[in-house]
């Protein structure tokens, strides 16, 4: 299992553990160099997931968004969850597609659902919602039933079709 102590000192991480999952929280400006170190020097060669949490109105939360990277070392089976916190108005992170190409669509999904911009991503478009959609639906200030987008279509009657 990876010894986190040197990394904690080097990157100023906060570490916690829940049911055998080790998690570290890192500042947003150091997340790229941490992930780069983890990949190149510690063998985390697979990026399982990139996802995001919106902490709006969450009890005790200090930051708006938490972006989560789940890593796997395929030769030792070691897993690590890296989290970083970012804030409005322009939540921005560097892309990790340069490290793991598989981050491509996951970052697009995070962008689509939460509006987090990944600088340096080569094709940051919406992936699930239609291109003309202008909100970020998984943000907590977006109503569950939407703002009427689902009703915004022409009605075709039988005589005109």
Partner 1 sequence: MVDLPKQPGLPDNVFMTRLDAAASWARSNSLWPMPFATACCGIELMATASSRFDLARFGAEVMRFSPRQCDLMIVAGRVVMKMLPVLQRIWLQMPEPKWCISMGACACSGGVFDTYAVVQGVDRFIPVDLYVPGCPPRPEQLIAALIEMQDKIMKTGTFQGSEFSGRTEATGPIPLELEEIRRSREAKLVDGLDIFQPPKL
# binding residues, partner 1 (CB under 8 A): 31
CA distance 14 to 28: 13
- Give the range of 8-16, 68-76, 102-110, 138-146 binding partner 1 by CB under 8 A: 138-146
Please say whether the beta carbons of 136 and 112 come within 8 A. Answer: yes
137 binds partner 1 (CB under 8 A): yes
143 binds partner 1 (CB under 8 A): yes
**Shortest distance, position 152 Cβ to partner 1, whole Å:** 8
125 binds partner 1 (CB under 8 A): no
* 106 Ramachandran zone, left/alpha/beta (phi>0; psi -120 to 50): alpha
In Å, what is the CA distance from 120 to each residue of 2, 85, 97, 145? 29, 19, 8, 33
60 binds partner 1 (CB under 8 A): no
Contact residues toward partner 1 (CB under 8 A) are: 88-89, 128-130, 133-135, 137, 139, 141-161
């Amino acid at each position: 299992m990876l010894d986190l102590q040197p990394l904690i000192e080097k990157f100023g991480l906060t570490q916690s553990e829940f049911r055998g999952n080790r998690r570290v929280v890192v500042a947003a400006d150091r997340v790229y160099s941490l992930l780069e170190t983890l990949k190149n020097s510690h063998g985390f060669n697979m990026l399982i997931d990139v996802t995001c949490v919106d902490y709006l109105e969450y009890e005790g939360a200090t930051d708006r968004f938490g972006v989560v990277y789940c890593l796997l070392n395929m030769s030792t089976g070691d897993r690590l969850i890296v989290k970083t916190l970012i804030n409005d108005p322009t939540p921005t992170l560097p892309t990790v597609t340069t490290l793991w190409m598989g981050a491509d669509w996951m970052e697009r999904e995070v962008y689509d659902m939460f509006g987090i911009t990944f600088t340096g991503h080569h094709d940051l478009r919406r992936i699930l919602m239609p291109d003309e959609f202008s909100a970020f639906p998984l943000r907590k200030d977006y109503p569950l039933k939407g703002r009427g987008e689902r009703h915004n279509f022409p009605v075709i009657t039988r005589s005109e079709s």
